[in-house]
Amino acid sequence: MSSISQILEHQVTIIPNEPGVYLMQDAQGDILYIGKSKRLRSRVRSYFQPGQVHSPRITLMVQQVADIEFIVTDTEAEALALEANLIKQHQPYFNVLLKDDKKYPYVCITWSEDYPRIFITRKRRLKHPRDRYYGPYVDTHLLRQTLRLVKRVFPLRQRPRPLFKDRPCLNYDIGRCPGVCQGLISPENYHKIVEKVAMIFQGRTEELLQKLSGQMELAASQLRFEQAGQIRDQIKAIQGLGIEQKVTLPDDTVSRDAIALAADETYTCIQFFQIRAGRLVGRLGFVADTVSGTPEGILQRVLEEHYLQVDPIEIPKEILVQYLLPEIDILSNWLGEKKGKKVTITVPQKQQKAELIRLVERNAGYELENIKRHAQKNLLGLEDLAQLLELETIPHRIEGYDISHIQGSNPVASQVVFIDGVPAKQCYRHYKIRNPEITIGHSDDFASLAEVLSRRFRSYQNKSETELLNLEDYPNVIMIDGGKGQLSSVVKILETMNLIPPLQVISLAKKREDIFLPGQSQPLDTHPEQPGVQLLRRVRDEAHRFAVTFHRQQRLTKSRHSRLDDIPGLGFQRQKQLLAHFHSIDYIREASIEKLQEVSGIGEALATEIYRYFHPNN
């Protein structure tokens, strides 16, 4: 055993060889990994056997293990159910088989809130056990189109935050929103609306149409013709949604899921088809490392991770798989217990079902080819960039910086990070420019960039080059959006910090896509369409997009700011009461302390504070 396993050897020997769940923890007590096995001791011991070949993910995990806990169960099915619950509760880092590469989007419904939000996200991170994620969806354009239609058909909250404090916005007047911001609909009734929307993303459109048809007939029989007409329009819209998005399959009586994969030595692409009443209602995509397991094991783990996140009603009675799963009976029993009905998992042999699996496998193969093309494109760009900049190795981490403002107002900066040519959005950062000399009408991109780079690399000072190279966030290339002037200002501040060298800083000018190096008056001899320049353009465009988005957010926040927000002790409800009583801030400013006290909830102390705010000289 290795040195780390010698510390744990006694713990491994006392683990029983029975079914159960094991929890691996680091030195701080954080759970690294949760697994299950029908023979706990054998499974745990296999992690520390000399000569055992593990994937890079598991190897990294084993190096951090400091303690092992276990829970014994009576059966393997109980172990699977317990593992699923514990993973859902703790969400250990090393239990993530699938890459969170921000490639495929999800639909999130925040059921934990009184008025749930519905939005598209590329991160599946549960902030509350009641929230639900649907997906990931392969066709992003189709998903956005579906969500737009849903928000047009059903009265839903359209904004993440209220536009006005004391009244609903235009969406309420035109029937797009039920007045969530002002509480004009109860949380119970709003949940009923969102439940109908969730049925669409669960693939239960036929069930939803039947439910709406019953509600329409009931409303018509009770002479509520306006409500019946609204439901009729919802039915037509949902039926129209399914015309182009669903592929009809031969068997229209059974609902089933089908999963298959295609793999090479690096990537494994998994396709997951959801068929409901003979129609393809969802095509989900997943990506895994090929070294993370066998094809059978990867399929099993994908199914476990997927069904762990869904409601029982979304589990079909039949699941078709490409290969025989290693623990097919345990998974089938667990899903059956979760659904409350028998769930069958089979490798299809008959022609119709086998053709469906081949269709799913063919789609997985196309997706694998697409990923390989993107990977090859990134590799060519990195190799060409390394040659252009005369780097010893291809750059692993590239950072891009840009400034955004409107004539000096709300100046901000962005930092974007590309890892191996792919955007690493978890590493992105925003900066608000603090320079007091940059004000409305007076902008200074040179000073702004110098400030941002000095703040970013402040912790790098007084470190040796060897220490810098060992840092996890050490950038191989720093790209500035601009020309020689922007580059010179950045290089000057980094030289005062003794960081040039080793930091490699370049700039990319917009017009001719010229690359400038420190100390050189002429740009590099490049072509705008060569792979290395295209890679830098992607970094530059992403930095620009990220900076502009943050700048717009700052402007919007400032435009919504009220003078009443600056008064100490005056909260949102009191502001609403003041505006309801005086109708405008001008009348509040002219009111005396006695008049202010006439408002319910405004005492003498708060009235005096309000008056002093508007009349500081009195």
pLDDT tens, position by position, 303-326: 888 887 777 877 888 999 999 998
| 447/164 Cα distance (integer angstroms) | 37
Give the per-residue pLDDT at 319.
92
State both tokens at 361. Answer: 């496998």
Give the per-residue pLDDT at 575.
81
| 566/564 Cα distance (integer angstroms) | 5
Report pLDDT digits (tens) over 172-185: 888 888 888 888 88
Q: Which of 145-154, 219-228, 405-414, 448-457 has the highest mean pLDDT?
A: 448-457
pTM of the model: 0.56
Place 416 in a pLDDT band, splitting at 50, 70 and 90. Answer: very high
3-95 and 256-370 share one fold: no
Give Cβ neighbours of residue 559 (< 8 Å, ≥ 6 apart). Answer: none
pLDDT over threshold 60, residue 530: yes
Place 244 in a pLDDT band, splitting at 50, 70 and 90. Answer: very low
pLDDT over threshold 60, residue 327: yes
pLDDT averaged over the chain?
A: 81
Q: What HEC string does 217-232 produce? A: HHHHHCCCHHHHHHHH
Chain center to CA of 214: 37
Look at residues 255, 42, 236, 281 and name the one whose alpha carbon lies nearest to residue 143.
281
Side chain identity at residue 276, one-letter code? R
Buried b (16+ CB within 10 A) or exposed e, 302-335: bbbbbbebeeeebbbebbbbbbebebbebbbbbb
Look at residues 220, 217, 213 and name the one whose alpha carbon lies nearest to residue 235.
213
| 47/59 Cα distance (integer angstroms) | 9
Give the per-residue pLDDT at 100.
40
CB 361 within 8 A of CB 322: yes
Assign a CATH topology to domain 395-558.
Nucleotidyltransferase; domain 5 (3.30.420)
Q: Does domain 256-370 have CATH number 3.30.420?
A: yes
Q: What is the mean pLDDT of residues 253-271?
A: 85
H-type alpha helices, 49-186: 56-64, 76-90, 140-153, 170-173
Place 236 in a pLDDT band, splitting at 50, 70 and 90. Answer: confident
CATH of 563-614, one of 1.10.150.20, 3.30.470.30, 3.40.50.300, 1.10.3720.10: 1.10.150.20
Place 501 in a pLDDT band, splitting at 50, 70 and 90. Answer: confident
Domain ranges in the chain? 3-95, 256-370, 395-558, 563-614
pLDDT over threshold 50, residue 101: no
Place 251 in a pLDDT band, splitting at 50, 70 and 90. Answer: low
pLDDT over threshold 60, residue 224: yes
Cα first-last separation, the chain: 80
- DSSP E strand boundaries for 433-568: 477-481, 505-508, 515-516
DSSP letter string over 305-326?
A: HHHHSS-GGGS-SEEEESS--T
CATH of 3-95, one of 1.10.10.10, 3.40.1440.10, 3.30.1330.90, 3.20.20.370: 3.40.1440.10
CB 449 within 8 A of CB 485: no
